[in-house]
């Protein structure tokens, strides 16, 4: 198929582009490089630099595209609260322009990279697709608005569409990984500390109802996520807009992530904890991935332990620490925590995501799974996507 990938110079978009090329698809990437990197666009993809709202229509009109995978978005939760105009304009208005351009060019399929930030504070876990959507920040609200627009276009114009909701993404693939100027995710922040680029890693909260007292999060490997987008492209049905949560169903605590990075790199990783009342009310954010597994065929096959060693871009990767085969066996201290019930009643598991199942929640140690910056968070930390 001939496909357009928006945001293909970013983290998830670049890996998805690489997977699409490996499957034999012809790929065009649009990215304004505001947060992406030109070198992250895989060889073999045609690259167009520019704002999707401005160049999307001429690009789609100039070719016979079979589908669009839409990753381009503004995604810093904290910034979305302080500068909401940029998010309503950059996310919602831009996507409406893209939908109109697809309609004009007769492009039949859309896969939208959404977020579990659309759910807000969950009433129960695991979070299923029919859970109530009550976003607690502008970022989540804009993604939910886009999902509503896509449903309208699918109903009125026979568009075949799928939205994927997820939280924390980890790992790298094919030399493509996270490489941001403003980093907010836990694993790269920990690796930056190991590299000496940060003095320490801040851990906010040490009294969660988990085995070691730190919040547990559900990570999905970026390759699994990319493959889920490809499967969603094949699943999309004319006149329907399906929404799937993505999640691995496994939880790893902040402390476990730090310990694994310390073991893999062989470096000491200083950390400090903020004591006192926790900044968030819930720490159990497990997504239910059953629907995506049954309907789309998406399965999470990689673990947090396998994500840490080669998480960053090639320039920041630990050359001496390749992803170990059979990672779970090589890291026995990364024990899987209970996968059922909620943390309040069980006192055992506080697990967010595959984007795990989903993703607005933060992967940063000082950001809550609900996407709210923790009070008194260190100045260098910002809310993640």
35's tokens: 């947060």
CB proximity list for 272: less than 8 A, separation 6 or greater: 200, 202, 203
Annotated catalytic, 153? no
DSSP H or E stretch at residue 165: strand 160-165
Contact 41, 248 (CB under 8 A): no
Facing residues of 221 across strands?
170
Contact 218, 254 (CB under 8 A): no
Cis peptide, bond prior to residue 372, ω within 30 of zero: no
Residue with tokens 């996520």: 225
CA angle in degrees (0–180, nearest 5) for 321-323-324:
95
Contact 136, 81 (CB under 8 A): no
The sign one gets for the Cα dihedral 77, 96, 118, 234 is: negative
- Cβ neighbours, 10 Å, residue 322: 11
From the candidates 119, 139, 153, 219, which is the catalytic residue? 139
CA-based Rg of the chain, rounded to a whole angstrom? 19
**Cα(368)–Cα(219) distance, rounded to whole angstroms?**
15
CB proximity list for 51: less than 8 A, separation 6 or greater: 32, 94
Give the active site residues: 139
């Amino acid at each position: 198929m001939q496909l357009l990938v928006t945001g293909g110079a970013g983290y998830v978009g670049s890996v998805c582009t690489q997977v699409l090329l490996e499957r034999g698809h012809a790929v065009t990437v649009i990215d304004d490089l505001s947060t992406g990197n030109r070198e992250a666009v895989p060889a073999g993809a045609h690259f167009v630099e520019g704002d999707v709202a401005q160049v999307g229509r001429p690009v789609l009109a100039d070719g016979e595209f079979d589908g669009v995978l839409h990753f381009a978005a503004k995604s810093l939760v904290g910034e979305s609260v302080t500068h909401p105009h940029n998010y309503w304009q950059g996310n919602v208005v831009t996507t409406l322009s893209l939908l109109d351009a697809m309609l004009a060019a007769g492009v039949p399929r859309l896969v939208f990279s959404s977020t579990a930030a659309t759910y807000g504070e969950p009433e129960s876990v695991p979070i299923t697709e029919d859970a109530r959507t009550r976003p607690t920040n502008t970022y989540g609200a804009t993604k939910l608005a886009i999902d509503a627009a896509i449903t309208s276009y699918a109903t009125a114009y026979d568009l075949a569409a799928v939205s994927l909701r997820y939280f924390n993404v980890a790992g790298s693939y094919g030399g493509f990984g996270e490489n941001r100027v403003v980093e907010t995710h836990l694993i790269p922040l920990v690796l930056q500390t190991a590299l000496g680029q940060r003095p320490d890693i801040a851990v906010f909260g040490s009294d969660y109802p988990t085995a070691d007292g730190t919040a547990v999060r559900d990570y999905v490997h970026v390759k699994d996520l990319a493959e889920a987008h490809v499967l969603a492209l094949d699943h999309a049905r004319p006149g329907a807009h399906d929404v799937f949560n993505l999640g691995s169903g496994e939880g790893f605590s902040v402390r476990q992530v730090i310990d694994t990075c310390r073991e893999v790199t062989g470096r000491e990783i200083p950390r400090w904890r903020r004591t006192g009342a926790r900044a968030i009310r819930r720490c159990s954010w497990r997504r239910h991935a059953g629907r995506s597994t049954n309907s789309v065929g998406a399965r999470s096959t990689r673990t947090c332990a396998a994500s840490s060693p080669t998480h960053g871009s090639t320039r920041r990767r630990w050359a001496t620490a390749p992803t170990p085969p059979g990672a779970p066996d090589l890291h026995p201290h990364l024990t899987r925590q209970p996968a059922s019930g909620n943390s309040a009643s069980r006192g055992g598991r506080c697990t967010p995501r595959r984007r795990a199942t989903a993703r607005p929640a933060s992967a940063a140690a000082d950001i809550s799974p609900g996407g709210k910056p923790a009070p008194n968070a260190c100045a260098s930390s910002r809310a993640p996507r």
